[in-house]
């Protein structure tokens, strides 16, 4: 069974890694996270973005055709213009140019987090 909190964290982590001026899709994120956790899909990613995507650059996640739900178009379009995201004449993101394949950080082994001490000056 998929841990919903872990799925949510991985989805949001993928979104945070998409660079300015680029986008990824709900389906691409679902594939990457699903490969790690063994399930999920684009609708689940969309649900996470709707409920928890405010703090991350949500406008960088689009439908496979480069569109967003109509309720987000105005705010997203402004972000696309500011970031230089390639757009089609229709106003959709030009997914062929702007697509960024989502990635996850390396899986960390279970146990305590590694020490974050700075290296000693030598």
State the DSSP string of 55-100.
TTTGGGEE-TTS---GGGHHHHHHHHHHHT--B-TTSSB-HHHHB-
The average pLDDT across 56-60 equals: 95
Rg (CA), the chain: 16
CATH architecture of 4-98: Orthogonal Bundle (1.10)
pLDDT band at 1 (very low <50, low <70, confident <90, very high): confident
What is the reported pTM?
A: 0.82
Report the pLDDT averaged over residues 14-25. 96
**Residue 106, SS3?**
coil
Spell out the domain ranges in the chain.
Answer: 4-98
Helices 42-52, 4-17: axis angle to 10 degrees equals 80
């Amino acid at each position: 069974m998929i841990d919903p909190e872990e799925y949510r964290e991985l989805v949001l982590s993928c979104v945070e890694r998409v660079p300015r001026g680029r986008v990824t899709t709900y389906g691409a994120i679902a594939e990457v996270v699903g490969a790690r956790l063994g399930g999920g899909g684009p609708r689940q990613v969309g649900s996470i973005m709707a409920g928890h995507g405010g703090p991350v650059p949500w406008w960088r996640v689009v439908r496979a055709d480069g569109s967003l739900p109509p309720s987000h178009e105005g705010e997203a379009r402004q972000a696309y213009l500011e970031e230089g995201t390639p757009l089609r004449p229709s106003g959709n993101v030009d997914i062929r140019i702007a697509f960024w394949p989502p990635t996850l950080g390396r899986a960390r082994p279970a146990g305590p987090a590694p020490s974050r001490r700075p290296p000693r000056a030598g």
